[in-house]
Amino acid sequence: MKHVNRVFAAFLVALLLVPLTACAPNMAASAVTPKPEATTAPTPTLSPVPTEVPTPTVDEFGFTEERKAELNQQIQDFLNYRGDFAREKISEMMMEPATDLDISEISLGIVRSIPEIQGYFFDYFEKDNKLFMLMGFDGKDGTRFVTPVEIELYVYKQLSEASFGVFEYDINNFFENGNSEFKSYYGENQIISLLNNLKSKVIVLGLNTMEREEPSVDEIDQTVIVEGTKEINSKIELTFGLFQLVSSNNLTYDNPERGDTASIIKITSVDDAEKIDISKVPILLNMSYFKGILNTN
pLDDT digits 0-9 by tens, 267-290:
999 999 999 999 999 999 999 998
Q: Which of 2-6, 74-78, 102-106, 197-201 has the lowest mean pLDDT?
A: 2-6
| First CA to last CA distance, the chain | 27
Q: Which residue has the higher pLDDT, 45 or 201?
A: 201
pLDDT digits (tens, 9 = 90+) for 93-129: 888 887 788 877 889 999 888 889 999 999 999 999 9
Q: Is residue 226 part of a domain?
A: yes
Distance CA 126, CA 150 (A): 10
Average pLDDT value over all residues in the chain: 82
Q: Is residue 2 part of a domain?
A: no
CB 95 within 8 A of CB 290: yes
pLDDT at 10 over 70: no
Distance CA 88, CA 67 (A): 26
Q: Is residue 102 part of a domain?
A: yes
Question: Mapping DSSP to helix (H, G, I), strand (E, B) and coil, where does residue 126 land?
Answer: strand
Share of the chain above pLDDT 70, in %: 77
Chain-centre distance of CA 53, in angstroms?
24
Q: Is residue 101 part of a domain?
A: yes
CB 216 within 8 A of CB 110: no
Q: Which residue has the higher pLDDT, 254 or 228?
A: 228
180-184: average pLDDT: 91
Q: Is residue 185 part of a domain?
A: yes
pLDDT of residue 9: 36
Helix segments in 101-222, DSSP class H: 153-158, 187-198
Burial 196-217 (b: 16+ CB within 10 A, else e): eebeeebbbbbbbbeeeeeeee
Distance CA 171, CA 287 (A): 15
Q: Is residue 174 part of a domain?
A: yes
Q: How confident is the model at residue 22 (pLDDT cuts 50, 70, 90)?
A: very low
pLDDT at 220 over 90: no
pLDDT at 30 over 50: no
Q: Which residue has the higher pLDDT, 254 or 208?
A: 208
The closest alpha carbon to 209, from 253, 175, 246, belongs to 253
Distance CA 76, CA 267 (A): 10
DSSP state of 26: P
pLDDT of residue 14: 37
241-245: average pLDDT: 95
DSSP state of 255: S
Number of domains comprising the chain: 1
Q: Is residue 75 part of a domain?
A: yes
pLDDT at 66 over 70: yes
Chain-centre distance of CA 78, in angstroms?
16
177-206: average pLDDT: 92
- Whole-model pTM: value is 0.79
Alpha-carbon separation of residue 38 from 16, 44, 106, 231, 254 (angstroms): 19, 18, 88, 87, 100
- By residue range, what is the domain housing residue 96? 65-293
Q: How confident is the model at residue 37 (pLDDT cuts 50, 70, 90)?
A: low
Q: Is residue 53 part of a domain?
A: no
CB 129 within 8 A of CB 61: no
